[in-house]
Amino acid sequence: MIFLAFVEVTVRDRNGIADLKPGTFPGGTITSIRCQTVSPHRVLKPSSRWTSLRKNQTMSHALTVRWTIEPTTAPRPWLACSRCRGQRPFVCSGKTRLNANGRRLDAWLIYRCADCGDSWNRPVFERKNVRDVAPDTLDALQNNDRAWIHGVAFDVEDLRRSTTRIEEFPDCRVSHHVLAGRLEGSMRLEILFTAPTVVSVRTDRLLAAELGVSRSRLARLAETDRVILMPETRRSLQRPIKDGARIVIDLSAEADWAEIVERAQGGSPPA
């Protein structure tokens, strides 16, 4: 039996702008492929979300912005504190410890109990041959490099190797950069998310705070395919924002579209 394949390709150009149109894309990079194989006797129809998104792509009044999201408070492990005699949150001190035993190295990131100041050494690596340690990492450990320590302190997945109870914080700093389009008359908004460090804030909470709209309103827009998040997952808006995610918002039926667009690019709406 002969089968037909329906393929949707997402391509991102040098500026990070996405295009769903099939064909060749000079200078672009394929970022995702969505393929469905069907019988030739079946009429193939794209999903409503993809159809809506392609329709929105043709709108001339569009603004594309990039939001770079950085968490401001590092996750805190909860550990048994010997002084407090109970579970307490520990805070990164911003200091490292490096020990050498011959050619073998041990490295830790030092944490302090938030209540009494007792210390806990979070393992970075143990019994590692000095030849296997990257020169930049070794230099950062020897000099308490702030940027390197910041990256380790915010690495919640690595922290889970040392403890099961972790306190995460949703507060973050967002910087805005306009990539394409005009601010005036833009009724379609496309937001590209960059998150160099894992963030805990939910997508709908971030959008609500930055755009000045309620989460219930965002949910209603999503139900009618006027808010589409890619990659699409179950309960996408309720999950933490991911690096490389993209959201498209159709504001053509919203009375306050101008205020929303102004906030999206980092400005304040007129009083």
From residue 227, give the alpha-carbon distance in Å to each of 163, 220, 239.
37, 9, 15
Terminal-to-terminal C-alpha distance of the chain: 65
Average pLDDT rounded to a whole number, residues 188-211: 90
User: Positive or negative, the Cα torsion across 144, 150, 151, 156?
Assistant: positive
Q: Do the beta carbons of residue 267 and residue 258 sit within 8 Å? A: no
Query: Which range (5-19, 61-75, 99-113, 213-227) has the least confidence?
Result: 5-19
25-29, 65-69, 256-260: the lowest-pLDDT one: 25-29
pLDDT at position 20: 44
pLDDT of residue 157: 85
What digits encode the pLDDT tens for the residues 240-252? Answer: 888 999 999 999 8
pTM for this entry: 0.64
Mean pLDDT (the chain, rounded): 80
| Per-residue pLDDT, 38 | 38
Tokens of 25: 């894309």
Q: What number is the average pLDDT over the span 74-95?
A: 95
Q: List phi, psi (to 5°) of 176.
A: -115, 140
Q: How many residues does the chain have?
A: 271
How many Cβ atoms sit within 10 Å of the Cβ of residue 204?
A: 24
CA atoms within 13 A on the CB side of 71: 23
Q: Where are the domains of the chain?
A: 4-43, 62-71+170-264, 76-167
Query: How far is residue 116's CA from residue 81's CA, in Å, rounded to a whole number?
Result: 9
Task: Please choose, from the candidates 110, 77, 108, 79, the residue with its C-alpha nearest in 3D space to the C-alpha of residue 93.
Answer: 110
